[in-house]
Amino acid sequence: MSANYFGLAADAYTWALAGALGVGWAASLRLCPAWRRAGLWAVPMSLFGCVWLGFGVDFVLRFAILAYDSVTFGNATYRLANRPARVINDTLLLTVGFWMSLCIGFACGVRRRSSGPYRALTAVAPPAAMSSAPAVTVAASLCLLLAYGPIETVAALFTPLVTVGRLWTVPATLVWWEYLHTGKGSTLRWLVLLPGVLHAWFSPYREHLVLIVLVPFLAAVFAGRRFRLSTLALATAILLVVSTALIEVGRELAWSGKNMETALSDTGWNRWGEDPELSPWVKVVRRFHGLDSFLLTVDLVPSAFEHSDREVFLSSLTRGLVPRLLNPEKEGSTRALDFSQSIWVEDGAGSPAAIAPSMPGDLYEAGGPLYVLLGGLLWGLVVGLCDGWNKHTPPRIAAVVTAVFASSCAFSSERDFAHTVSTLIQTHLVMIAVALAMIGRTQIQRLRSGARAPTVVQSGRLGA
């Protein structure tokens, strides 16, 4: 490979696979449950749409960018440009297989005839939900403070506290939906976003920061508001640049204890005009490296690193269902750090940053191509079940469910399988448990007997 070649190695097979990936990904958009009545707005109205969007950015669009320049938009080295076309082709083939399996799993899971466990959410009377919003917001904030605050928390309590803290999205979405639908709750709508700000400060990751904007947006979409696509595209681009800057600087402030001037200098945000590689758009593009991780994994496993043979499927269930208090030895969320200290740096020297391994890459490292296909199928099935139940809920509840899981689904292509699935299970359990506690014994008995909750389904109006 010549020293001045920046793109990916490619042959005719590469472009055929890339074309198949792009066409298949675009065609799968019609799987969104609300596609026929909502068109493109079906994307933010379903969890599959969030997965679809994240996969498109991390793999489809990312391939086009790397094919043009894998050095500038990679990690400023020739490691991707020097990979042979065979590795690129194998990775693209596995990516196509992963997405096809995911779509098949989703198509099977989405065929639900009722709201399933989400009936507990619809059974909570709207007045009770609105009146409890401040209390839930305060409780979520306290849990986040206990989990991330200056006082060290027992390891077994960290995940439960964070899981409860994430539920700030429930009252926030309800309050914003009520405000956009009826005009009530104008003051409260800003207060319910404060736990999201806390979470983004203590845990400066892109999905936490974006969620602060995503909650009002999803509430607006489910309340019937529509925006010009050009305005939405511009707002999204601005959000990506701003969030990238805030996350980079925030990590320097929160994790390294640096002052603002030093943080801006070390991250390069105060001198990006001097170096094109420090420009905001380059920094944003480099943040989406799911395909990069997958390429390196396919090339180096098992030639340099053996398949780990981890039990990712059973682990996702045990991590989601069994608390650490009962199983202190259960696996933690360390895959990103492990990946950054092995495959990502190739020579095993290690890296202090946690690098996302990508879901298909994590599955391939664990068990090869079969794991990639099976993992895609199971993840699609899980997303399908959620969307299948959610399409039978009223708009306010559909907005809540989508907001709670939107960011984790959108970024699932970057994350490891077990962490993604277990987090989704844990959040479901806590969210439904809180709803059951609110509706009381009588309503629980009604739900068990199959009686409908006193809510007008899919009417766009609050139930009685």
For a pLDDT cut of 90, what percent of the chain falls above it?
A: 62
Q: Please give the mean pLDDT across all residues of the chain.
A: 88
Find tokens 């380059």 and name the residue. Answer: 282
Per-residue pLDDT of 201-216, as tens digits, reads 999 988 999 999 999 9
Per-residue pLDDT of 407-429, as tens digits, reads 999 999 999 999 999 999 999 99
Looking at per-residue confidence, does 354 or 156 come out higher? 156
**Number of structural domains in the chain:** 1
Confidence of residue 444 (pLDDT cuts 50, 70, 90): low
The rounded distance, in Å, linking the Cα atoms of 7 and 9 is 7
Does the residue 55 lie in any domain?
Answer: yes
| Weakest-pLDDT range from 94-98, 167-171, 276-280 | 276-280
Does the residue 233 lie in any domain?
Answer: no
Q: Which two tokens stand for residue 83?
A: 């990979």
Does the residue 259 lie in any domain?
Answer: no
Average pLDDT over residues 391-398: 96
Residue count of the chain, please give it.
464
Write down the pLDDT at residue 5.
58
- For residue 404, the enclosing domain spans 31-219+287-448
Per-residue pLDDT of 228-259, as tens digits, reads 999 999 999 999 888 888 888 888 887 777 87
The rounded distance, in Å, linking the Cα atoms of 172 and 176 is 6
Average pLDDT over residues 171-176: 95
The rounded distance, in Å, linking the Cα atoms of 167 and 427 is 8
Does the residue 422 lie in any domain?
Answer: yes
The rounded distance, in Å, linking the Cα atoms of 441 and 446 is 9
SS (H, E, C) 124-149: CCHHHHHHHHHHHHHHHHHHHHHHHC
Confidence of residue 135 (pLDDT cuts 50, 70, 90): very high
Does the residue 406 lie in any domain?
Answer: yes
Residue 18 has pLDDT above 80, yes or no: yes
Does the residue 238 lie in any domain?
Answer: no
Q: Which of 98, 79, 95, 82 is nearest to 18 (CA)?
A: 95
Does the residue 282 lie in any domain?
Answer: no
Residue 454 has pLDDT above 70, yes or no: no
**pTM of the predicted model, to two decimals?**
0.90
Write down the pLDDT at residue 286.
85
DSSP secondary structure, 332-373, as one string: -S-HHHHHHTTTTTSSS---SS-----HHHHHHHHH-HHHHH
Residue 2 has pLDDT above 70, yes or no: no
Per-residue pLDDT of 275-328, as tens digits, reads 667 777 788 888 889 999 999 999 999 999 999 999 999 989 988 888 877 777
Q: Which two tokens stand for residue 330?
A: 């259960």
Confidence of residue 336 (pLDDT cuts 50, 70, 90): confident
Does the residue 266 lie in any domain?
Answer: no
Where b means 16+ CB within 10 Å and e means fewer, 114-139 reads ebebbbbbbbbbbeebbebbeebbeb
The rounded distance, in Å, linking the Cα atoms of 63 and 94 is 14
Strand, coil or helix: 326: coil
